[in-house]
């Protein structure tokens, strides 16, 4: 019985160790995620502040504020 319990415990411990190695992102993955998020934010900022999009957004807001119920 001792050998069976020991074998079962080793199996559980090995699974936990294997799961721990892939449990989360490493620092380089966080860095790449941050770089991608910043790049997306810059592109979005440039699009929103461009002349045509800015005018369209202002027109939408003005129309919404002028709406009467």
Answer yes or no: is 68 within a domain: yes
Answer yes or no: is 40 within a domain: yes
CB-based burial, 7-24: b 16+ in 10 Å, e otherwise: eeeeeeeeeeeeeeeeee
Number of domains the chain is built from: 1
pLDDT tens by residue, 15-37? 545 445 555 667 888 889 999 99
Distance (Å, whole) CA 6 – CA 62: 73
Answer yes or no: is 50 within a domain: yes
Answer yes or no: is 4 within a domain: no
Answer yes or no: is 2 within a domain: no
Answer yes or no: is 12 within a domain: no
Q: What percent of the chain has pLDDT over 90?
A: 22
Predicted confidence at residue 69, as pLDDT, reads 57
Answer yes or no: is 13 within a domain: no
Predicted confidence at residue 44, as pLDDT, reads 92
Answer yes or no: is 11 within a domain: no
Instruction: pLDDT band for 39, please (50, 70, 90 cuts).
Output: very high
Domain of 56? 25-69
């Amino acid at each position: 019985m001792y050998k069976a319990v020991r074998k079962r415990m080793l199996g559980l411990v090995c699974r936990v160790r294997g799961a721990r190695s892939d449990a989360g992102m490493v620092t380089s993955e966080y860095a790449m995620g941050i770089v991608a998020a910043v790049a997306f934010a810059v592109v979005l900022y440039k699009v929103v502040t461009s002349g045509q999009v800015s005018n369209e957004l202002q027109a939408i807001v003005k129309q919404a504020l002028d709406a009467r119920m």
